[in-house]
Amino acid sequence: MFKIHTVVGARPQFIKAAVVSRELLTVGTVEESIIHTGQHYDQNMSEVFFDELSIPKPKYNLEIGGKSHGKMTGDMMTALEELWMKEKPNLILVYGDTNSTLAGALAAAKMHIPVVHVEAGLRSFNKKMPEEVNRILTDHVSELLLCPTPRAKELLESEGISGEKVVHSGDVMYDAVLFYKDKALNLDWQLEGLNRNFVLCTLHRAENTDSEERMTDILSAIGDLGEQVVLPLHPRTKKLLELYNLTLPANVITTEPLSYLKMIKLLSDCSFVITDSGGLQKESYFMGKYCITVRDETEWVELTENNVNFLVGSNKEKILEAVNEIGAAKGLPILGHYGDGSAGKSIVNNLVRMFINE
Ligand code: UD1
Protein backbone atom coordinates (compact mmCIF):
# COMPACT_ATOMS: atom_id res chain seq x y z
CA MET A 1 0.00 0.00 0.00
CA PHE A 2 1.04 3.58 -0.69
CA LYS A 3 1.17 5.29 2.72
CA ILE A 4 0.01 8.90 2.91
CA HIS A 5 0.30 10.80 6.17
CA THR A 6 -1.94 13.85 6.38
CA VAL A 7 -0.84 16.44 8.93
CA VAL A 8 -3.59 18.62 10.37
CA GLY A 9 -3.86 20.63 13.55
CA ALA A 10 -6.09 23.67 13.21
CA ARG A 11 -9.79 24.10 12.57
CA PRO A 12 -9.79 24.98 8.84
CA GLN A 13 -7.51 22.07 8.06
CA PHE A 14 -10.02 19.54 9.31
CA ILE A 15 -12.56 20.87 6.81
CA LYS A 16 -10.10 20.84 3.90
CA ALA A 17 -8.81 17.37 4.77
CA ALA A 18 -12.38 16.01 4.88
CA VAL A 19 -12.74 16.74 1.15
CA VAL A 20 -9.51 15.04 0.09
CA SER A 21 -9.77 12.11 2.52
CA ARG A 22 -13.14 11.22 1.05
CA GLU A 23 -11.64 11.14 -2.46
CA LEU A 24 -8.60 9.17 -1.34
CA LEU A 25 -10.90 6.37 -0.24
CA THR A 26 -11.65 5.78 -3.92
CA VAL A 27 -8.01 4.88 -4.63
CA GLY A 28 -7.68 1.24 -3.66
CA THR A 29 -3.91 1.23 -3.25
CA VAL A 30 -3.69 4.13 -0.78
CA GLU A 31 -3.66 3.95 2.99
CA GLU A 32 -4.15 7.40 4.53
CA SER A 33 -3.37 8.12 8.17
CA ILE A 34 -4.36 11.39 9.81
CA ILE A 35 -1.80 12.91 12.15
CA HIS A 36 -3.31 15.56 14.45
CA THR A 37 -0.61 17.83 15.83
CA GLY A 38 -2.85 18.98 18.67
CA GLN A 39 -2.48 22.69 17.77
CA HIS A 40 -6.22 23.10 18.33
CA TYR A 41 -7.28 20.99 21.26
CA ASP A 42 -10.57 22.29 22.66
CA GLN A 43 -13.47 19.96 21.88
CA ASN A 44 -15.28 22.67 19.91
CA MET A 45 -12.14 23.62 17.96
CA SER A 46 -11.24 20.07 16.98
CA GLU A 47 -13.23 16.93 17.84
CA VAL A 48 -16.57 18.32 16.72
CA PHE A 49 -15.23 18.66 13.15
CA PHE A 50 -14.12 15.02 13.00
CA ASP A 51 -17.53 13.86 14.22
CA GLU A 52 -19.62 16.15 12.07
CA LEU A 53 -17.65 15.85 8.81
CA SER A 54 -17.04 12.09 9.15
CA ILE A 55 -13.28 12.51 8.86
CA PRO A 56 -11.29 9.37 9.68
CA LYS A 57 -10.16 9.62 13.31
CA PRO A 58 -6.52 10.64 13.73
CA LYS A 59 -4.20 7.66 14.03
CA TYR A 60 -1.85 9.79 16.13
CA ASN A 61 -2.40 12.93 18.18
CA LEU A 62 0.87 14.67 19.02
CA GLU A 63 -0.86 16.90 21.61
CA ILE A 64 1.32 19.91 20.90
CA GLY A 65 -0.79 23.04 21.35
CA GLY A 66 -0.83 26.23 23.39
CA LYS A 67 2.87 27.03 22.96
CA SER A 68 4.86 29.89 21.42
CA HIS A 69 5.35 29.69 17.65
CA GLY A 70 8.94 28.44 17.75
CA LYS A 71 8.35 25.87 20.48
CA MET A 72 5.13 24.64 18.87
CA THR A 73 6.69 24.25 15.41
CA GLY A 74 9.91 22.72 16.77
CA ASP A 75 8.14 20.23 19.03
CA MET A 76 5.88 19.18 16.16
CA MET A 77 8.88 18.62 13.89
CA THR A 78 10.64 16.50 16.50
CA ALA A 79 7.57 14.38 17.10
CA LEU A 80 6.84 13.97 13.37
CA GLU A 81 10.42 12.95 12.61
CA GLU A 82 10.29 10.26 15.27
CA LEU A 83 6.95 9.02 14.01
CA TRP A 84 8.06 8.93 10.37
CA MET A 85 11.29 7.09 11.15
CA LYS A 86 9.07 4.36 12.52
CA GLU A 87 6.15 4.53 10.06
CA LYS A 88 8.02 5.32 6.83
CA PRO A 89 5.20 7.04 4.94
CA ASN A 90 5.57 7.48 1.15
CA LEU A 91 4.12 10.98 1.05
CA ILE A 92 3.06 13.83 3.36
CA LEU A 93 -0.04 15.92 2.72
CA VAL A 94 -0.30 19.37 4.33
CA TYR A 95 -2.97 22.07 4.15
CA GLY A 96 -3.02 25.85 4.33
CA ASP A 97 -0.71 28.01 6.37
CA THR A 98 -0.63 27.11 10.03
CA ASN A 99 2.31 26.15 12.24
CA SER A 100 1.20 22.53 11.76
CA THR A 101 1.54 22.95 7.98
CA LEU A 102 5.09 24.26 8.24
CA ALA A 103 6.16 21.66 10.81
CA GLY A 104 4.85 18.83 8.61
CA ALA A 105 6.44 20.22 5.46
CA LEU A 106 9.87 20.89 6.98
CA ALA A 107 10.09 17.62 8.87
CA ALA A 108 9.17 15.71 5.70
CA ALA A 109 11.51 17.65 3.41
CA LYS A 110 14.45 16.99 5.72
CA MET A 111 13.65 13.26 5.64
CA HIS A 112 13.33 13.34 1.82
CA ILE A 113 9.67 12.37 1.94
CA PRO A 114 7.70 14.17 -0.81
CA VAL A 115 5.49 16.99 0.49
CA VAL A 116 2.21 17.89 -1.18
CA HIS A 117 0.71 21.29 -0.31
CA VAL A 118 -3.00 21.88 -0.70
CA GLU A 119 -3.88 25.59 -0.90
CA ALA A 120 -0.50 26.58 -2.30
CA GLY A 121 0.49 29.95 -3.76
CA LEU A 122 -1.44 32.30 -1.50
CA ARG A 123 0.30 35.48 -0.45
CA SER A 124 -0.66 38.49 1.67
CA PHE A 125 2.80 40.06 1.16
CA ASN A 126 2.96 40.76 4.89
CA LYS A 127 5.76 38.71 6.40
CA LYS A 128 4.79 39.81 9.91
CA MET A 129 1.90 37.36 9.68
CA PRO A 130 3.05 33.95 10.90
CA GLU A 131 0.79 32.43 8.23
CA GLU A 132 2.68 34.21 5.41
CA VAL A 133 6.01 32.78 6.55
CA ASN A 134 4.42 29.35 6.91
CA ARG A 135 3.00 29.41 3.37
CA ILE A 136 6.13 30.67 1.63
CA LEU A 137 8.38 28.10 3.29
CA THR A 138 5.92 25.26 2.76
CA ASP A 139 5.52 26.09 -0.93
CA HIS A 140 9.27 26.16 -1.45
CA VAL A 141 9.82 22.62 -0.10
CA SER A 142 6.76 21.01 -1.72
CA GLU A 143 6.95 18.59 -4.63
CA LEU A 144 3.35 19.04 -5.69
CA LEU A 145 1.59 22.37 -5.20
CA LEU A 146 -2.19 22.49 -5.54
CA CYS A 147 -3.43 26.00 -6.16
CA PRO A 148 -7.01 27.04 -5.37
CA THR A 149 -7.01 29.85 -7.98
CA PRO A 150 -5.23 30.68 -11.26
CA ARG A 151 -3.67 33.69 -9.50
CA ALA A 152 -2.05 31.46 -6.86
CA LYS A 153 -0.39 29.50 -9.68
CA GLU A 154 0.91 32.72 -11.24
CA LEU A 155 2.29 33.89 -7.91
CA LEU A 156 4.22 30.65 -7.51
CA GLU A 157 5.59 31.00 -11.02
CA SER A 158 6.77 34.51 -10.15
CA GLU A 159 8.73 32.95 -7.26
CA GLY A 160 10.38 30.45 -9.60
CA ILE A 161 8.16 27.48 -8.71
CA SER A 162 6.77 26.15 -11.98
CA GLY A 163 6.33 23.16 -14.22
CA GLU A 164 4.16 20.10 -13.84
CA LYS A 165 4.35 20.18 -10.05
CA VAL A 166 2.23 23.36 -9.93
CA VAL A 167 -1.43 22.62 -10.59
CA HIS A 168 -4.59 24.72 -10.46
CA SER A 169 -6.92 22.28 -8.71
CA GLY A 170 -9.70 24.61 -7.58
CA ASP A 171 -10.56 25.30 -3.97
CA VAL A 172 -11.36 22.44 -1.59
CA MET A 173 -13.38 24.82 0.59
CA TYR A 174 -15.79 25.32 -2.31
CA ASP A 175 -16.12 21.54 -2.61
CA ALA A 176 -16.83 21.41 1.13
CA VAL A 177 -19.60 24.01 0.97
CA LEU A 178 -21.28 22.22 -1.94
CA PHE A 179 -21.02 18.86 -0.19
CA TYR A 180 -22.24 19.89 3.27
CA LYS A 181 -24.63 22.74 2.48
CA ASP A 182 -27.89 20.75 2.47
CA LYS A 183 -26.98 19.03 5.71
CA ALA A 184 -26.18 22.43 7.28
CA LEU A 185 -29.40 24.08 6.13
CA ASN A 186 -31.42 21.19 7.51
CA LEU A 187 -29.83 21.36 10.96
CA ASP A 188 -32.37 21.51 13.72
CA TRP A 189 -30.52 24.21 15.61
CA GLN A 190 -31.13 27.82 16.51
CA LEU A 191 -28.78 30.14 18.35
CA GLU A 192 -30.27 31.23 21.64
CA GLY A 193 -31.11 34.94 21.85
CA LEU A 194 -31.14 35.45 18.10
CA ASN A 195 -34.42 37.00 17.15
CA ARG A 196 -33.97 39.21 14.11
CA ASN A 197 -31.61 40.05 11.24
CA PHE A 198 -28.03 39.61 12.24
CA VAL A 199 -24.46 40.08 11.12
CA LEU A 200 -22.03 37.17 11.52
CA CYS A 201 -18.63 38.18 12.89
CA THR A 202 -15.41 36.34 13.73
CA LEU A 203 -12.13 37.77 15.03
CA HIS A 204 -9.05 35.75 15.83
CA ARG A 205 -6.02 36.96 13.86
CA ALA A 206 -3.07 37.97 15.99
CA GLU A 207 -2.84 41.30 14.13
CA ASN A 208 -6.25 42.23 15.61
CA THR A 209 -6.42 40.35 18.87
CA ASP A 210 -2.93 41.40 19.95
CA SER A 211 -3.83 45.10 19.54
CA GLU A 212 -6.15 46.64 22.11
CA GLU A 213 -6.59 49.65 19.82
CA ARG A 214 -7.69 47.59 16.82
CA MET A 215 -10.04 45.49 18.93
CA THR A 216 -11.57 48.64 20.44
CA ASP A 217 -12.13 50.19 17.00
CA ILE A 218 -13.69 47.07 15.49
CA LEU A 219 -16.00 46.53 18.47
CA SER A 220 -17.03 50.17 18.41
CA ALA A 221 -18.05 49.85 14.73
CA ILE A 222 -19.93 46.65 15.49
CA GLY A 223 -21.77 48.42 18.31
CA ASP A 224 -23.06 50.98 15.79
CA LEU A 225 -24.71 48.39 13.53
CA GLY A 226 -28.46 48.41 13.70
CA GLU A 227 -28.61 44.61 13.82
CA GLN A 228 -27.68 41.90 16.24
CA VAL A 229 -24.14 40.57 15.76
CA VAL A 230 -23.26 36.92 16.34
CA LEU A 231 -19.66 36.53 17.50
CA PRO A 232 -18.41 32.97 18.04
CA LEU A 233 -15.37 33.52 20.25
CA HIS A 234 -12.04 31.92 19.42
CA PRO A 235 -10.18 31.08 22.69
CA ARG A 236 -7.44 33.59 21.82
CA THR A 237 -9.99 36.39 21.38
CA LYS A 238 -11.80 35.48 24.59
CA LYS A 239 -8.55 35.59 26.56
CA LEU A 240 -7.50 38.95 25.15
CA LEU A 241 -10.90 40.61 25.57
CA GLU A 242 -10.67 39.72 29.26
CA LEU A 243 -7.10 40.99 29.44
CA TYR A 244 -8.02 44.34 27.88
CA ASN A 245 -11.14 44.50 30.03
CA LEU A 246 -13.22 45.37 26.96
CA THR A 247 -16.99 45.29 27.27
CA LEU A 248 -18.84 43.98 24.24
CA PRO A 249 -21.57 46.20 22.74
CA ALA A 250 -25.13 45.32 23.78
CA ASN A 251 -26.10 44.07 20.29
CA VAL A 252 -23.41 41.33 20.34
CA ILE A 253 -24.32 37.73 21.11
CA THR A 254 -21.24 35.64 21.83
CA THR A 255 -21.02 31.87 21.61
CA GLU A 256 -18.38 29.20 21.96
CA PRO A 257 -16.62 28.40 18.66
CA LEU A 258 -19.22 26.75 16.42
CA SER A 259 -19.08 23.64 14.30
CA TYR A 260 -18.73 23.84 10.52
CA LEU A 261 -22.37 23.01 9.82
CA LYS A 262 -23.60 25.61 12.31
CA MET A 263 -21.37 28.24 10.72
CA ILE A 264 -22.72 27.40 7.25
CA LYS A 265 -26.25 27.67 8.58
CA LEU A 266 -25.52 31.07 10.14
CA LEU A 267 -23.89 32.16 6.89
CA SER A 268 -27.01 31.25 5.04
CA ASP A 269 -29.21 33.24 7.44
CA CYS A 270 -27.08 36.35 8.12
CA SER A 271 -27.24 39.76 6.42
CA PHE A 272 -23.49 39.93 5.83
CA VAL A 273 -20.18 38.99 7.44
CA ILE A 274 -17.42 40.85 9.28
CA THR A 275 -14.27 38.78 9.74
CA ASP A 276 -10.50 38.52 9.82
CA SER A 277 -10.57 34.83 8.89
CA GLY A 278 -9.19 33.68 5.55
CA GLY A 279 -11.67 30.86 5.04
CA LEU A 280 -14.78 32.77 6.03
CA GLN A 281 -14.12 35.43 3.37
CA LYS A 282 -14.65 32.77 0.73
CA GLU A 283 -17.37 30.87 2.53
CA SER A 284 -19.38 34.12 2.72
CA TYR A 285 -19.14 34.44 -1.03
CA PHE A 286 -19.99 30.76 -1.61
CA MET A 287 -23.12 31.28 0.51
CA GLY A 288 -24.07 34.46 -1.38
CA LYS A 289 -23.12 36.99 1.30
CA TYR A 290 -21.01 40.14 1.23
CA CYS A 291 -18.04 40.26 3.55
CA ILE A 292 -16.16 43.04 5.32
CA THR A 293 -12.61 41.99 6.07
CA VAL A 294 -11.05 43.71 9.06
CA ARG A 295 -7.47 43.19 7.96
CA ASP A 296 -4.99 45.35 6.05
CA GLU A 297 -4.44 42.83 3.28
CA THR A 298 -6.06 39.69 1.95
CA GLU A 299 -4.89 36.65 0.03
CA TRP A 300 -8.27 36.37 -1.72
CA VAL A 301 -7.96 39.38 -4.01
CA GLU A 302 -10.50 38.02 -6.52
CA LEU A 303 -13.17 38.87 -3.97
CA THR A 304 -12.00 42.40 -3.22
CA GLU A 305 -11.46 43.14 -6.92
CA ASN A 306 -15.07 42.18 -7.61
CA ASN A 307 -16.51 44.13 -4.67
CA VAL A 308 -17.96 41.18 -2.85
CA ASN A 309 -15.39 41.60 -0.10
CA PHE A 310 -14.48 45.00 1.37
CA LEU A 311 -10.98 45.20 2.83
CA VAL A 312 -11.10 47.94 5.46
CA GLY A 313 -8.55 47.31 8.23
CA SER A 314 -9.77 48.17 11.71
CA ASN A 315 -10.87 51.75 10.99
CA LYS A 316 -14.36 52.38 12.32
CA GLU A 317 -15.44 54.85 9.59
CA LYS A 318 -14.24 52.51 6.85
CA ILE A 319 -16.10 49.58 8.38
CA LEU A 320 -19.31 51.61 8.53
CA GLU A 321 -18.80 52.93 4.98
CA ALA A 322 -18.52 49.33 3.77
CA VAL A 323 -21.74 48.49 5.62
CA ASN A 324 -23.46 51.28 3.66
CA GLU A 325 -22.02 50.05 0.37
CA ILE A 326 -23.35 46.58 1.08
CA GLY A 327 -26.75 48.09 1.88
CA ALA A 328 -26.79 49.77 -1.54
CA ALA A 329 -25.38 46.80 -3.49
CA LYS A 330 -27.48 45.04 -6.09
CA GLY A 331 -26.40 41.43 -5.61
CA LEU A 332 -23.27 39.33 -5.87
CA PRO A 333 -21.68 38.53 -9.24
CA ILE A 334 -20.87 34.93 -10.12
CA LEU A 335 -17.12 34.36 -10.05
CA GLY A 336 -15.46 31.26 -11.43
CA HIS A 337 -12.10 31.54 -9.66
CA TYR A 338 -12.54 28.72 -7.18
CA GLY A 339 -13.26 25.88 -9.57
CA ASP A 340 -16.39 23.83 -10.04
CA GLY A 341 -16.47 21.82 -6.82
CA SER A 342 -14.15 19.07 -8.04
CA ALA A 343 -10.92 20.25 -6.39
CA GLY A 344 -10.77 17.10 -4.24
CA LYS A 345 -10.94 14.90 -7.34
CA SER A 346 -8.31 16.96 -9.14
CA ILE A 347 -5.97 16.75 -6.15
CA VAL A 348 -6.26 12.98 -5.92
CA ASN A 349 -5.86 12.57 -9.71
CA ASN A 350 -2.66 14.57 -9.51
CA LEU A 351 -1.39 12.52 -6.55
CA VAL A 352 -1.97 9.37 -8.57
CA ARG A 353 -0.35 10.86 -11.66
CA MET A 354 2.79 12.04 -9.89
CA PHE A 355 3.36 9.57 -7.07
CA ILE A 356 1.05 6.61 -6.88
CA ASN A 357 0.60 5.33 -10.45
CA GLU A 358 -1.83 2.57 -9.53
C1 UD1 B 1 -4.25 29.20 13.89
C2 UD1 B 1 -3.47 29.51 12.61
C3 UD1 B 1 -4.31 30.40 11.70
C4 UD1 B 1 -5.69 29.82 11.46
C5 UD1 B 1 -6.35 29.54 12.80
C6 UD1 B 1 -7.72 28.92 12.63
C7 UD1 B 1 -1.04 29.59 12.94
C8 UD1 B 1 0.13 30.47 13.04
N9 UD1 B 1 -2.24 30.22 12.92
O10 UD1 B 1 -4.40 30.40 14.61
O11 UD1 B 1 -3.65 30.54 10.46
O12 UD1 B 1 -6.49 30.77 10.76
O13 UD1 B 1 -5.52 28.65 13.55
O14 UD1 B 1 -8.45 28.94 13.83
O15 UD1 B 1 -0.91 28.39 12.89
N16 UD1 B 1 -6.19 27.82 21.94
C17 UD1 B 1 -7.07 27.28 22.82
N18 UD1 B 1 -7.80 26.19 22.43
C19 UD1 B 1 -7.66 25.64 21.19
C20 UD1 B 1 -6.76 26.22 20.30
C21 UD1 B 1 -6.03 27.31 20.67
O22 UD1 B 1 -7.22 27.75 23.94
O23 UD1 B 1 -8.35 24.65 20.90
C24 UD1 B 1 -5.36 28.97 22.34
C25 UD1 B 1 -3.88 28.63 22.27
O26 UD1 B 1 -3.44 28.08 23.44
C27 UD1 B 1 -3.28 29.97 21.98
C28 UD1 B 1 -4.34 30.68 21.15
O29 UD1 B 1 -5.56 30.01 21.40
O30 UD1 B 1 -3.06 30.70 23.17
C31 UD1 B 1 -4.02 30.71 19.69
O32 UD1 B 1 -3.92 29.39 19.13
P33 UD1 B 1 -2.90 29.06 17.96
O34 UD1 B 1 -3.03 27.65 17.61
O35 UD1 B 1 -1.56 29.60 18.34
O36 UD1 B 1 -3.32 29.96 16.74
P37 UD1 B 1 -4.73 30.41 16.15
O38 UD1 B 1 -4.94 31.82 16.55
O39 UD1 B 1 -5.83 29.44 16.45
Summarize pLDDT for 175-198 with one digit per residue, the tens.
Answer: 999 999 999 999 999 999 998 899
The terminus-to-terminus CA distance of the chain in angstroms comes to 10
**Helix segments in the chain, DSSP class H:** 11-24, 47-52, 69-87, 99-110, 130-141, 150-158, 172-185, 206-209, 212-223, 235-244, 260-269, 278-286, 301-305, 316-328, 343-351
40 lines ligand 1 (CB under 6 A): yes
> Is-above-0.85 flag for pTM?
yes
The CA 105 to ligand 1 mean position distance, Å, reads 19
Which residue puts its alpha carbon closest to atom 29 of ligand 1? 236
Q: Of residues 36, 40, 168, 204, which has the active-site annotation?
A: 204
Which residues are within 8 A (CB) of 92 and not within 5 positions of it... i.e. 6 or more apart? 4, 5, 6, 7, 84, 104, 105, 108, 113, 114, 115, 116
- pLDDT confidence of residue 147: 98
> pLDDT tens digits, residue range 291-316?
999 999 999 999 999 999 999 999 99
Ligand 1 centre from 207 Cα, in Å? 13
For residue 331, how far is its CA from the centre of ligand 1 (angstroms)?
Answer: 34
Q: What is the mean pLDDT of the chain?
A: 96
* pLDDT given for residue 341 in this prediction: 96
pLDDT digits (tens, 9 = 90+) for 92-125: 999 999 999 999 999 999 999 999 999 999 999 9
**204 carries an active-site annotation:** yes
d(CA 203, CA 357): 43
41 lines ligand 1 (CB under 6 A): yes
Protein residue closest via CA to atom 4 of ligand 1: 98
The pLDDT-based confidence of 150 (bands split at 50, 70, 90) is: very high
- The arithmetic mean of pLDDT across residues 228-233, rounded, is 98
Distance 104 CA to ligand 1 centre (A): 17
